[in-house]
Amino acid sequence: MKFKSSLNLSSNHLTLLKKPADMIVTCVYVHVKPDEVNSFIDATIANHLESVREHGNLRFDLIQQADDPCRFMIYEAYESGAAAANHKTTTHYLRWRDIVKDYMAEPRQGVKYNIIEPNDRTRW
Amino acid sequence: MKFKSSLNLSSNHLTLLKKPADMIVTCVYVHVKPDEVNSFIDATIANHLESVREHGNLRFDLIQQADDPCRFMIYEAYESGAAAANHKTTTHYLRWRDIVKDYMAEPRQGVKYNIIEPNDRTRW
């Protein structure tokens, strides 16, 4: 599902085909100890508020599983792998990582996805 | 994590506390048969394009797992449970449901979440 910008020479006109950016999502699944749920939420809201201001960030949603308030997902979308990697060097990420370390009932899991839709940057 | 609009009478001023909308996300996980991946993508792009035009829809992202192109997630965010329920009555949803039925390697799984951040409608 990767497309490259290219010239379509079969057309009567030279057409610059759309080039979906190398946008990616990481879904981060976090299982939190019951007594630490509120502390985890506070720390992650702080991380959210900084992360959405990063260059190249598309989304940084924090959601809580409806049938289990100890389970969360962070939906992290970036316009490139480089922008996603840069997130892990920021002060706010490093602070969050250290604060929430002891809140977790088990190690968090990240699952990487390529984006099919919305397929251009302007619709994010 | 549900808050109700209320008057804060302990303040010097009557303060209308913010009332996060009853926004929800459903993450729909789909495992597709290898030969049906392209057909599934086509059908789901069509569903995406109609779904994002629904009243009350916040997002309807289609993403493909980076290490397994047969696994997809649809990130469906709605401003209320009623708007999410209405999605399942639309012509485009019903058409999608019937088309993709035979493309799936196993039954799809939906996981419901409450939204913590972004916590107001204007930041979606």
Whether the pTM exceeds 0.80: the reply is yes
Residues of B in contact with A115 (CB under 8 A): 61-64
DSSP secondary structure, A49-70, as one string: HHHTTSTTEEEEEEEEETT-TT
Q: Tell me the per-residue pLDDT of B42-89, one tens digit each, with 9 for 90 and over.
A: 999 999 999 999 999 999 999 999 999 999 999 999 999 999 999 999
For residue A83, CA distances in Å to B40, B70, B75 come to: 29, 26, 21
Nearest to A62 among B63, B111, B116 (CB): B116
Using an 8 Å CB-CB cutoff, list residues of chain B that contact chain A. Answer: 1, 24-25, 27, 41, 44-45, 48-49, 52, 60-67, 69, 72-73, 75, 77, 111-118
Nearest to A113 among B1, B44, B73 (CB): B73
What's the ipTM?
0.84
The fold of B21-123 is Alpha-Beta Plaits (3.30.70)
Q: Do residue A75 and residue B73 have CB atoms under 8 angstroms apart? A: no
Residue A6 backbone class (left: φ over 0; alpha: ψ -120 to 50; beta: rest): beta
The CATH code of the domain at A21-115 is 3.30.70.100
- pLDDT tens for chain A, residues 1 to 124: 444 444 444 433 343 444 455 899 999 999 999 999 999 999 999 999 999 999 999 999 999 999 999 999 999 999 999 999 999 999 999 999 999 999 999 999 999 999 999 998 888 9
Q: Do residue B45 and residue A69 have CB atoms under 8 angstroms apart? A: no
**What are the domain boundaries of chain A?**
21-115
